[in-house]
Structure 1
């Protein structure tokens, strides 16, 4: 997932973006000025995505292509190269008809004019009020919709049922508070040997935001203001969450490797079957169980209760230089249909992008999947134009804040970090 190994997005010049927008418009006209044909007229549509989302994008395209005259051709690029590829295409006024991106970049791309305004089209959908609210907000800029959900990935608590049983814990009673999570992790850690109570990505800004922030939200705290211009990490809620994880590391309950985990080996640690409980991506459930580890799932709680999740994944919009806007929207609208969400997403154990489809004929067979799907309506997706540079980039002030709060000067790190993150968020 690119969230865990994000690279700095290559900036696109304002002049190039202005030319990009001017070259297209939002009136379903081709570059020559003729009105576009019907929405499903046999057009070939190009769709770009990052490698992390390639399988889902191709599954959508395959299903759509089988029942439509239009044909969608998917091209995937390595996660770390993808932002630069989009920047280059925007500068050359040659964006694909459709492109997806990590949802936390959506506000940035919308503000730069890389996507077509979808406000009227999205507003006309019968299911508009049932589409993942956090993703819809993330793809909105200055009151207009530019992107819709493409894939959903959420953070949850993943726990090893066999280790729970060995530690004398009830495998059917996961923690309902973060304090209870810590106590259960401590009991599992006492099994000794190579077993650890928990694990986290302590050298990965994206990992920490994805798994720690839900506990802050569950406690009623915030991370950013509504416009994404000011940080709010210097709060009691954030301090309490960091203090709990710091104590688990200091006590040796969290695996020692947590300190240097930058993302790449995070999943492997849980697949090894030696970690009791840890917050992580919901999509890891099946990947862990493929290794023979029996897993349970629970919402991520706040220190004293409540629950929330980071609604991650990818957003998708129509490239600002596309001459096939109507046809591209036909595909996007279809991806939000019952058919696509059930037969493409749910059938493959993904999270539907519609809140009303959490329970469906595929998920109903596994209560854990229903639980994961139901969390979408309770979660949040952070919104900021300069999110990557402020939080995900390896040189971001957020990662410096994380390192200080977990392993350094905890007393001052959140305060100084809040100032640095706010400055970064406000960079023009």
Structure 2
């Protein structure tokens, strides 16, 4: 999940439209027998996953009688576009969505129930578990994994070597992460161009994507399972905050960390300016040629490993008249052919855990590691996730900034505000 600073509250928009939306929650996802004539189905995706969606559609269209017409919508306009189409009963046959918002879309009846169809897949138990969990409601399944983006630690091997660190050994704990970052900053940061680490200090989604895995790796949680009570005022969340606060106060994080709102937070590492930092796994393929980058799982203060499993899920709209043709395409996207020859070939994270060490991925141990983290990571569930955690005016960003740059004594009060937001 590429975090962004502005997220419109899908829950608020769609709740208002609930009476107008056709309910697709009780069916089997089956439709009338497919026509003998080729069918062209429509699909929408947000711009954040345009590249992967276009590759899948192009490969599918080149080998099937049925065809897919893809529309890419600007990411910031996507949720309002879905809401408007749902209210007018003009949803496309298939649409993808940020996995975080899938529970809300499902609860409003936007997706067709495809439980029986998924159950018939021979690899159903190997589908990305976090995505499948958020696409399940009351035991029924509505979506498949579409694209995945994981949070991991990148380290610059050249900077490690110049600072006297082992370039082939990245951090195994968050405390070690802080030690490595501090060493690089002290040894190489005198000119002000190199910094030990960096993070999006004014970006709620960035905190979620990069800090929460350290909590999970330590065996903790950030919310209750229902997504209605915040646990951000207790260990290990407070321990994670304390470590990053120490790095910032020591000047290890770079001069613009506190102001970084999200759009440019991943742009400094590829320039060779940062020693070690949490990054989206999808940026590995875009690193400069010749740059020596190590990849490690995000760890807790004393060890463990986890990741935030972001990205998009995809489902059949509840108003489609082409369910069979839509399923033919969706099921193909998670087939061996699509996952290996389209996704793995382009170094994308795979939607199936049983294919993590495939022909293409096995050539790069870093990619194998990233794919293996799909089964170990988490995707948090909360019906009011966007308003609470992604919204720059939401309570989570206020809490995180107070914990990092202000008075940690205010965290308990602000945590109560997060819980209040989650329960509205």
TMscore range, shorter length? over 0.9
Match of 1:378 among 373, 376, 387: 376
Q: Distance in 2 between matches of 1:298 and 1:95?
A: 40
1:123 and 2:122 equivalent? no
Q: 1:408 aligns with which of 406, 410, 417?
A: 406
* Cα distance change of structure 1 residues 181 and 13 upon mapping to structure 2, 3 Å threshold: closer
- Is the CA contact 1:155–1:210 (under 8 Å) kept in the aligned structure 2? yes
Match of 1:312 among 310, 315, 339: 310
1:262 aligns with 2:257: no
Q: Whole-Å Cα distance in 2 between the matches of residues 23 and 102 of structure 1?
A: 19
CA distance in 1, matches of 2:7, 2:409: 29
Q: Write the deviation string for residues 264-313 of structure 1: whole angstroms up to 9, x where unpaired.
A: 111211121110000110111122234x5321111111100110000011
**TM-score of the aligned structures, taking structure 1 as reference length:** 0.94
Asked if 2 retains the 8 angstrom alpha-carbon contact of 1:149 and 1:314, the reply is: yes
Shift of 1:39: 7.8
Moved more, 113-122 or 375-384: 113-122
Whole-angstrom CA distance in 1 between matches of 2:139 and 2:97: 20
Secondary structure at the residue paired with 1:266? coil
The 3-state SS of whatever aligns with 2:314 is: strand
1:394 match: 392
Secondary structure at the aligned position of 1:81 is classed as helix
Matches of residues 21-32 of structure 1 in structure 2 within 5 Å? 21-22=22-23, 26=27
TM score, norm. by length of structure 2: 0.95
Of 104-113 and 300-309, more deviation after overlay is shown by 104-113
Q: Report the CA distance between 1:70 and its aligned residue.
A: 1.1
> Once the two structures are superposed, what CA deviation does each residue of 1:223-272 show, in whole Å capped at 9, x if it has no partner?
12112122221211000000000100000011121111111111211121
Does the C-alpha gap of structure 1 residues 39 and 276 become closer, same or farther in structure 2, counting only changes over 3 Å?
A: farther
| Structure 1 Cα separation of the partners of residues 59 and 300 of structure 2 | 40
Contact in 2 for aligned 1:39/1:330 (Cα 8 Å): no
Q: Which runs of 5+ in 2 are unaligned?
A: none
Distance in 1 of aligned mates of 2:376 and 2:261: 27
- Deviation at 1:181? 0.6
Within a 5 Å distance, the mapping from 1:80-229 to structure 2 comes to 80-190=76-186, 191-192=188-189, 193=191, 194-229=193-228
Where 2:52 maps in the other structure, the secondary structure is helix
Deviation at 1:23, TM superposition (A): 8.3
Unmatched 5+ stretches in structure 1 = 30-34
Is the contact between residue 390 and residue 421 of structure 1 (CA under 8 Å) also seen in structure 2?
Answer: yes
Query: Which residue of structure 1 lines up, in the alignment, with residue 48 of structure 2?
Result: 52
C-alpha offsets along residues 338-387 of structure 1, whole Å, 9 cap, x if unaligned?
Answer: 00100110001001110011100001111111111111111000111111
CA contact (8 A) 1:2 1:80 kept: no
Q: What residue number does 2:356 align with?
A: 358
The separation in 2 between residues aligned to 1:184 and 1:78, in whole angstroms, is 38
- Cα 1:41–1:313 change in 2 (3 A) is farther
How far apart, CA to CA, are the structure 2 residues paired with 1:152 and 1:60?
Answer: 14
Kept after mapping to 1: 8 A contact 2:145/2:351 = yes
CA distance 1:40–1:403, shift in 2 (3 Å): farther
The offset of 1:420, in angstroms, is 1.3
Report SS of the residue matched to 1:257.
coil
**1:120 aligned counterpart, secondary structure:** helix
What is the rounded CA distance, in whole Å, between the counterparts of 1:299 and 1:382 in structure 2? 18
Seen in structure 2, the aligned counterparts of structure 1 residues 393 and 15 have a Cα distance that, compared at 3 Å, is: closer
State the partner residue of 2:320: 322
Q: Give the paired residue count.
A: 420
**Contact 1:39/1:326 (<8 A) preserved:** no
* Alpha-carbon distance in 1 for matches of 2:237, 2:23: 43
